[in-house]
């Protein structure tokens, strides 16, 4: 079954905010048995929005819109959908009741003077919004379904997991979810080396099992194999490719066969081996710790992070020698080693990584340009460090540094013998 996403908002076209919803909806659609064929981003302009809606409706079984359901004048999605399906806005008792309850949930009294949440196009169904104020919409006609949600990511997510899922079950009860995805995740190697040097026949081999795509990531490449089949067939293909690739030149670069983020994999491995982990961060400013603490239950094995942004913190908290900083500099493998060992001692953990680098835009030199990062790796008995050089702006470099730091932490945990 075919699906399309219509993302609505002038602020998206102007670059004022990022689209945070498409990926969430796309994953949900794949899980629920729909093939996403098109994503369109359009502004809050009636003629363009109507045309986009027309094209999406005629080519799809399911259309999902996000945005434009709020209380301000540019929120015209509800009006346009009503006109498209031939119904004017009228007071809807169910919508009014929802508005009153939604406002009561945040200890406020709803008033029709400040919004039109109680007005719904004739012939459309009002859909509860468990996490916000503006109700969603649904319209089922011609064997097709339109679902409309606010653009706020947490509100959309709550609707996908609740009322929208119920509507799918109601209107497409016989749908089959036979789309399966096998992902081979690599780190530290570009596409050219994978497909033209190490394994020139890999793409052809994978294509015999399904549709292949290759997506460069922050510090690696994800290879996706999409095919129609059962969960059993997915596990069989996963076993086959594990065995095939573990004997290949690509083996040392592969770190996962699913789409879990590296921070989740790190915590799973730490839990599996019952290891306490910690981070010492300078250039990333706590980003690695932030990513680890985004995973529920991480506190059982992630003990903490020391953000040693200033050299005084490196020396006083982590025990980095002043002589090391003077001779080699803050961004050096020598400093990274002492930071990693220092955080193990300070927080009494089993393994740790440290990151010290130059994220720019200033601070670089010919010897240590912007994009240089030194990552220290330590357990209670050993310590090492390595220098890397990346390109990009400040935010992207910090993300790349944090990604590689997590991969190094993953390597330490994998390699540590706890028997």
What tens digit of pLDDT does each residue of 156-173 get?
A: 999 999 999 999 999 999
Please tell me the distance from the alpha carbon of residue 7 to that of residue 40, in angstroms, as a whole number: 6
Alpha-carbon gap, residue 295 to 284, rounded angstroms: 18
Q: What is the pLDDT of residue 136?
A: 96
DSSP assignment of 186-236:
E-S--HHHIIIII-TTHHHHHHTTSEEEEEE-SSSEEEEEEEE--HHHHHH
Residue pair 390/354 in contact by the 8 Å Cβ criterion: no
pLDDT at 375: 98
Other C-beta atoms within 10 Å of 198: how many? 15
Residue 178 banded pLDDT, cuts 50, 70, 90:
confident
Q: Where are the domains of the chain?
A: 2-171, 179-256, 268-415
Q: What was the pLDDT predicted at 176? A: 82
383-389 β-sheet, strand order: 302-307, 277-281, 351-357, 372-379, 383-389
Residue 73's pLDDT band (cuts 50, 70, 90): confident
Contact 352, 302 (CB under 8 A): no
Residue 186 is predicted with a pLDDT of 98
CB of 35 within 8 A of CB of 226? no
**375 dihedral zone (left: phi>0; alpha: psi -120 to 50; beta):** beta
Whether the upstream peptide bond of residue 361 has omega within 30° of 0, thus cis, is yes
pLDDT of residue 74: 79
CA separation (Å) from 74 to 45, 68, 126, 156?
Answer: 8, 7, 20, 19
Q: What is the pLDDT of residue 75?
A: 87
Query: How many angstroms separate the CA atoms of 238 and 180, rounded?
Result: 11
Chain segment 189-231, per-residue pLDDT in tens: 999 999 999 999 999 999 999 999 999 999 999 999 999 899 9
What pLDDT does residue 57 have? 97
Question: Which pLDDT score, from 0 to 100, does residue 250 have?
Answer: 97
| pLDDT over 90 at 86, yes or no | no
Contact 336, 375 (CB under 8 A): yes
Question: What is the pLDDT, as a whole number, of residue 419?
Answer: 75
Candidates 3.40.50.170, 3.40.980.10, 3.20.20.70, 3.30.365.10; correct CATH number of 2-171? 3.40.980.10
- Rounded Cα distance between 150 and 81, Å, is 14
Superfamily of domain 268-415: CinA-like (3.90.950.20)
**Architecture field, domain 179-256:** 2-Layer Sandwich (3.30)
Note the pLDDT of residue 81. Answer: 96
- Give the mean pLDDT of 120-141: 96
What distance, in Å, lies between the first and last C-alpha atoms of the chain? 50
């Amino acid at each position: 079954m075919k699906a399309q996403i219509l993302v609505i908002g002038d602020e998206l076209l102007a670059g004022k905010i990022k689209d945070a919803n498409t990926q969430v909806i796309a994953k949900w659609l794949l899980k629920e048995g729909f093939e996403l064929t098109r994503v369109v981003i359009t502004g809050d302009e009636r003629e363009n929005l109507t045309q986009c809606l027309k094209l999406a409706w005629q080519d799809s079984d399911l259309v999902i819109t996000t945005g434009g359901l709020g209380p301000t004048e540019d929120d015209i999605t509800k009006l346009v959908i009503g006109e498209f399906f031939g119904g004017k806005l009228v007071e809807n008792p169910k919508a009014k009741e929802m508005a009153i309850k939604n406002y009561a949930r945040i200890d406020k009294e709803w008033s029709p003077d400040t919004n039109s949440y109680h007005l719904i196009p004739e012939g459309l169904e009002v859909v509860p919004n468990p996490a916000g104020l503006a109700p969603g919409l649904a319209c089922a006609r011609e064997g097709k379904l339109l679902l409309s949600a606010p653009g706020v990511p947490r509100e959309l997510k709550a609707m996908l997991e609740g009322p929208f899922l119920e509507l799918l079950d109601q209107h497409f009860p016989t749908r089959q979810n036979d789309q399966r995805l096998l992902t081979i995740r690599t780190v530290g190697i570009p596409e050219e080396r994978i497909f033209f040097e190490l394994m020139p026949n890999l793409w052809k081999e994978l294509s015999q099992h399904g549709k292949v795509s290759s997506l460069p990531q922050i510090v690696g490449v994800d290879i996706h194999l999409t095919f129609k089949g059962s969960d059993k067939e997915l596990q069989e293909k996963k076993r086959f490719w594990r065995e095939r690739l573990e004997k290949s030149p690509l083996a040392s670069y592969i770190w996962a066969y699913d789409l879990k983020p590296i921070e989740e994999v790190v915590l799973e491995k730490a839990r599996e081996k019952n290891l306490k982990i910690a981070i010492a961060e300078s250039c990333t400013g706590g980003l690695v710790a932030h990513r680890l603490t985004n995973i529920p239950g991480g506190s059982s094995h992630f003990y903490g992070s020391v953000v040693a942004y200033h050299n005084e913190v490196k020396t006083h908290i982590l025990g980095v020698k002043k002589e090391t900083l003077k001779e080699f500099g803050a961004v050096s493998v020598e400093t990274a080693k002492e930071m990693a060992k220092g955080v193990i001692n300070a927080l009494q953990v089993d393994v740790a990584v440290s990151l010290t680098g130059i994220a720019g835009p200033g601070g670089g030199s010919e010897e240590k340009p912007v994009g240089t990062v030194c990552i220290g790796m330590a357990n209670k008995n050993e310590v090492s460090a390595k220098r890397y050089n990346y390109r990009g702006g400040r935010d992207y470099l910090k993300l790349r540094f944090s990604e590689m730091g997590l991969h190094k932490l993953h390597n330490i945990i994998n390699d540590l013998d706890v028997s």
